[in-house]
Structure 1
Amino acid sequence: MSKILKGKVALVTGGSRGLGAAIAQTLADQGADVAISYAASGEKAEAVVEKLKAKGVRAIAIRADQADLTVAKPLIDKVIAEFGKLDILVNNAGIAIQGHMVDDPELDGDKYNRQWQVNVMGSIAITRAAAPRLTDGGRIIFIGSRLGSVVPFPGVADYAGTKWALAGYAKGIARDLGPRNITVNVVQPGIMPTDMAAEVAGELPNRDAILDMHPIRRIATLEEVAETVCFLAGPHAGYITGEAVNMAGGIGI
């Protein structure tokens, strides 16, 4: 495999499992040194680090629950102290709380508010901490969701809102950081085979009916999404910025 990211340093938030772990491994396959953050899964995070090191790159795991906005600066400080710089930030960490309509008396406001805190405010705090220290020509990639721009079923308003907020924020910082040749983009997957997706599957309408909405009637693979993230992180994507790349089998077209 081409090591087109050799010499680059990447931070993947929420990198201990699911898509975050797949992104971290694909970045390492392409030669990048990788830091991952995690909220609670310490053993899983260390297992990912060992896999990354086995690929011949440097790797560390840092505990940082981004629901606590004060962790953002220390997280960036630790990455730069370990590796000397930061070239690529992948804002992957997030939670999915779905299934209640906005007028549902059973809706747990505190739980849904935490989703905004983690998905939006946590990602913004880390981006703010990283932006002044990111190398010129660097990359910022947000993991959004196709639900951020297409909402084909009820019960996902808050989740969709958090992802749409990230898409708007990414456009703004693409404008801010463009003079430094830093690109900022959003990858918007649809359904993926992750633990988080499995946890909310029971809260969604009939899965077969959802798949019927897709021209390509299957879910995305983690590898497909990770490879797209790594393309945007690489040297061939230097003139792509402020964009949202949909990876959802064509739903909403």
Structure 2
Amino acid sequence: MSHPLFDISGRTALVTGSSRGIGHALARGLAEAGCTVVLNGRDGDRLADAAAQLPGDRIHTAVFDVTDAAAVANGIAAVEERVGPLDILVNNAGIQLRAPLLEFADADWHRILDTNLTSAFLVGREAARRMTERGHGKIVNICSLQSEVVRPGIAPYAAAKGALKMLTKGMCADWGPYGVQVNGLGPGYIETELTRPLVADEEFSAWVRRRTPAGRWGRTEDLVGALLFLASPAADFVGGQILYVDGGMTSVL
């Protein structure tokens, strides 16, 4: 039997950007832990397919654009009305665009910031409006190894993820007094559909394995335990922290 501090069965969780990759894996972990899970994305058909792949009969979908303030307000209100009060929010939506900084287009800069940073502010604010009134809630922002360190070609992404780290701490400062714990989860190099070209690049893959004390790429399931901890009563006195799940990469030169 598992320790009751880690029991989150019966809680309701929303995971943004969860039709595939890390978001989908985190949603699966929450479903397996007994949560009612709401998947979010912009593509209704893809979301429906993603929901069908998850276990249990308490999987819902919510189609809205996390970068649109009005859509977020309506979306969160609709979720709470249709599914129930949110106990857990996972701000996972994100994109990566690679280009040398001198050549980085203005529109791409704004797209990176809107999707990786502003979305967490908009969705977090709407969820916290309700969580703070109820006196409890867990928000987990999916940060990144790049909240700390960066490689050439991804400066805007790192800027957004670094800011998300500080937004996490700021949310903790504002909402902690109302019983809402806000923390970050920082994945390292994880094998997903989006990183498959990097995994397939033998030189880059060898660099990742060499650079990571664990000696391998991460798998999406490597992230689930950390999320379940941060979403559980075990983390009731943990606030504003970023838990890096990176095989030790941020700790070594």
Q: What is the TM-score normalised by the length of structure 1?
A: 0.90
Q: 1:48 aligns with which of 46, 50, 61?
A: 50
Cα drift, residue 108 of structure 1: 2.4
1:109 partner amino acid: D
SS at match of 1:212: helix
Q: Secondary structure at the match of 2:238?
A: coil
> Which of residues 27, 33, 55 is equivalent to 1:24?
27
How much does 1:202 deviate?
Answer: 8.3
Aligned to 1:124: 121
Q: Any conservation in 1 of the 2:208–2:216 contact (CA below 8 Å)?
A: no
Given the alignment of the two structures, is residue 210 of structure 1 paired with residue 190 of structure 2, yes or no? no
Higher normalized helix content (fraction of residues) = 2
Q: Structure 1 pair 197/188, CA: closer, same or farther in 2 (3 Å)?
A: same
**Per-residue CA distance 1:89-142 (angstroms, 9 max, x = gap):** 0000110112x22223xx222123201111111121111111111242210000
**How many equivalent residue pairs?**
246
Partner of residue 194 from structure 2, selected from 193, 196, 209: 196
Deviates more, 1:130-139 or 1:17-26: 130-139
Q: For 1:182-193, list aligned pairs within 5 A.
A: 182-193=180-191
Matches within 5 A, 1:60-209: 60-98=60-98, 100-104=99-103, 107-134=104-131, 135-151=134-150, 153-198=151-196, 206-209=204-207
Amino acid in structure 2 at the alignment position of 1:108: A
Distance 2:75 2:62 in 1: 7
Using structure 2 for the length normalisation, give the TM-score. Answer: 0.90
Q: In the alignment, which residue of structure 1 is the partner of 2:241?
A: 243
Distance apart, 1:38 and its partner CA = 0.7
Q: Distance in 2 between matches of 1:142 and 1:205?
A: 31
5+ residue gaps, structure 1: none
Shift in Å, 1:75: 1.4
Identify if the C-alpha distance between structure 1 residues 200 and 212 changes in structure 2 by more than 3 Å, giving closer, same or farther.
Answer: closer
CA distance in 2 between counterparts of 1:196 and 1:239 reads 34
**What is the CA–CA distance in structure 2 between the aligned matches of 1:80 and 1:204, rounded to whole Å?**
46
Shift of 1:234: 0.9
**3-state secondary structure, aligned to 1:24:** helix
| Contact 2:67 2:122 (8 Å CA) reproduced | no
The separation in 1 between residues aligned to 2:248 and 2:33, in whole angstroms, is: 28
SS in structure 2 of the partner of residue 196 of structure 1: coil
State the superposition RMSD in angstroms: 2.1
Alignment-mate amino acid for residue 183 of structure 1: Q
Deviation at 1:200, TM superposition (A): 6.4
Q: Which segments of structure 1 move beyond 3 Å, counting only runs of 4 or more?
A: 199-205
Contact residue 191 and residue 199 of structure 2 kept, 8 A? no
